[in-house]
Structure formats: C-alpha cells, structure tokens
Structure 1
C-alpha cells in the first residue's frame, strides 16, 4: 500500500501546484512573510515597544538613499523616532496574529452553526440562518465603534491598548462567521443524504458522532479556500479599523496603525511612513488572494482532471 505522503506526491493537487508559477510564488511569499513575522524579535534592528530604544530626535529620518538619510535606518524612521524596518516587522506580526485569530474564531462559530443548520434542517436551519442574515446586515464597523467606545468608557484607554489584539480578534471574528456557516450548511445538506450517512444511522451512531466524524470532514474542502481569503480580509479589516482610529493604537504597531500614523505626514514630505507599510500590506494581501484563487480552481470538482 502507498503511504499518505506517496499519495500526496502523486496527487493532482501537488501536480497542479507545481505547474502554476503564480501559486508557487504566492505560497513562497506567504511563507517568507510568516517567517519574518515570527522572527521579528530576533531580526528587527530594534524593539519598537521598548521606550529605551526610541529617540524622538530621530523622528522622520528619510530612507538611507535619500538626502539626510542614515545607514542605521535603511528605510527611515517614523514620527516617533522608531526604525521603520523594525516597526513594519512587528506590525506584520501583529496583523497576521489578528488575521489568523479572527479567522479561527469565524471558523469555530461558523462551522458549528452551519453544521447544525445543514444536518438538522427544519426550524433549526431557519433560526440559525436568520441569525446569520441579521449578522450579515449589521456592518462590522458599527460593531467595532460600539464595542470600542464601550470598552474605552468602562476600562479606560490604557486598558484598551493592552487588550487591543484580542478585542479586534473578537470584533472581526464575530462579524464574519456567517460566510463559514452558509458554506458549511450547503456542503452538509449535500452530504447528509449520501449512503455512508444512512449506513452510520443504521449501525446506531449518534447524530453528534455522524456530524463530527463523517459529515464534517467531507465538507471541509471548500473551507480551505474561504479560510485563505478570509485571512486576507481580516488583515484588511484590521488595517481599516486602525486607519480609522478604531483598531490598534499607534504605540502598538500593526500595518494599519503604521499607515494611519504616517498619513498626517505624507504631504509634508515624510512619505515613507505610510508608503512602505502600505506596500507590505498590499503584497501580503495580494499573495494570499492569489493563492486563494488557485485553491478555488484546483479544489473545484468541475475542474478536476485527475
């Protein structure tokens, strides 16, 4: 018998990946971004969270190739005197952390709701899908404004800065779970009428066991595509909220907060504070979306040629 690894090596999935240069480049770029984010504390020239490393006299130093630039700050400094390269690495780390955390929460809620709605149907389906419709109709920006304002009023701005990351994960996660629920529901409704489900019922397996062990694993293929794209959407949502002043504070760099902090200075000549984090954000989101497009095509049964 062939091992799982041998089957994977001979699969259409891996063959298609090797034949698609865009997918390979996107995957490579994502791995590089993740490695940069994970190793930020070791490879960054300075720690932007450590006030001892920050000198306000170094504020708005241009990139080293510009007039007035310094070799110690290859792509310049921001308005607080922090090294731009360091803040971007730490900011990328924060943005990826929020993106993965929010998507994990979306998947957890959405899979439970969609699995229950699709398998049981009837009133359960009607109630859960109406909840999803209500959630879809409620803009996440309004939710962010409401939750952020209440949290700041009750606990204070200082406490908000300490808990900004988990708070954003909760806000973005709760705002986007219906997409998972609808996708899982559609897959489960197709799977629950198949013979293996009927056989599981005949031998006396409980609904919970059938749902978790049999139906759910056969409904997860489409979630790979959604999860990939939703990470990009979550990172963009964090950047949008931070840009509007509803997300990460300026003292805790994320790609969104860096773009916001430099936006007030872009017309005074300090363009690099906004431009470089913006380029990094675009490249990261573009790589994820391109990989997601490839996954959507290769996992679509209608396009399968194996």
Structure 2
C-alpha cells in the first residue's frame, strides 16, 4: 500500500491531487519511535527516553511511580483505581501487553515532556487522560471505552501535543480541546494539537471539539458510525481537517457548537462514505511541520488495523 509524502508549507500553497504528487512513500508505520506533528515541536517529546524503568501492577504503586524520579513507568495487568492520578514531567507511561486501567484516569497537569502509550482505559470516573498547563505530550496507541467524561481532554494553555493511533469506542464525549469560551486569556496562542490515525468507532461527539487552538491538525483519522458529529471548530479556533475517512457520519465537521460561536475550518482530500458534506469557513494558520499522509481512500484499512493498544511492541 502506498501513500504520498508532502511538506505542508501553508494553506496558501497549491493543493495537489494524488495523481499530481511527485513522490510516494511506503505505507504508514503504526509504531513511530517519535511523535509526528505538534509534539515534535518546541524541542520535541521524548518522555523518559531510555532511562531507568519500574513495573507496577497496583494502584498504589502506579500512583507513586507517576510522580517519582524514575523516568519510565511500565504498567502490567489490570489496575483498578478511582479519580485522576497525576503524571510528572519527563515521564513515559507504557503498557505491557494487555495493560488496563479501570475506573480512573491520568492527569498530566503542569508537566512537560510526557509520553503515554499502549494502555487500555475503561470506565474512568472523571477523564481518561486530562492534559492541562502542560507542553510536549504524546498520547499514542491507547484504547478508550465507556468512561464518564472526556476520553482525552486538553485545555488550559497546553501546547505541542500529538494524539495518534488511539481507538475510541462505546463512549460519548471523546475529545475536548479548550474547556471554556471565556478562557482566551490563557489559551490564545496555545492549544496546538495534532490528531492523526485515530479510530473513532461508534462514538458520539467531540472528535475533537476545538476552542482557540490554531492551527489544529486533524488528519488521516477514521470516523465510523459517528452519532452526533465529528469535528467542531468554535471560538477563534482554526482547524485543518485533511485526508480523513468518514463513514456513516451524517455530520463530519461543522462550525460552532452549542453556545460557542464558529471558528474556522478548512477541509481537503477527505473521503466521505454515506456521510454528510460538512461545513467549512474561514482560514487556518500554516502547519509548520512535515508529515507523511496516507491517501484518504486507504485510511480505513490502515487505521482499523493499526490503531489502539496492543498494536505495537514497546
């Protein structure tokens, strides 16, 4: 399977058709060793790197390890917990095969350089992962289902975040970016996030719902049987929705949501199968990084086979 590679220099550049691209590259690897997108900026995101690790299998041990000096925390088995467990800076939280967190979530608050990979989150009683006042965060190859509030919520001046290759199912409010229309004093110039190669399978809304972040990049995601809507750009946001595959999604993307006014949204090269046409408007700031994009027609196969926990070896 092939995909095209292009360096995006801004939305004012000419939009090339697949047939007109000059080069092709092998199909996307579902196991990048470093993040693509916004988490690659600002100095990059390495987490705990190749530092010392500890393996935890209880809620008490996990809670302690997440804020300890040990850079790599490996999760083993099923851990039952409640509330939100704080994650410190310069930390990788990695699931061993089958690792599952039930009942609680991870709180990346006032932290930097954090990686969370290969975990299954289920039945959390607040958020699955909450990111606030934090920078350089990579959330990759996790699975989320049947939680109380957001699966992955990013807010309060957080920046340089990539959410990639995750699977979301049996859930309502999936991903919020920017928690309030009144928080512009903190959020303007921040909330820059890349969402790529995620699978939203039968979820309902917020894939993501965006405030203030510009540019926010939503590319090569798979939307299957979405209940309410896919992407919403609101309150000064600028969102590029590119190369995604929407199937059985009546409202793939739109401007404004609830009481929040319209932001800007540019859509290009998306595949719409038994789905609505979407709503666009306004302009979006330049995407500053290079990235390799799968052809939208291939996204269903690539993402359904590669997204979620247990699809990589870490």
TM-score by length of 1: 0.29
Structure with the larger strand share: 2
| TM-score (norm: length of structure 2) | 0.29
Whose Rg is larger?
A: 1
Greater relative contact order (Cα 8 A, min sep 6): structure 1 or 2? 1
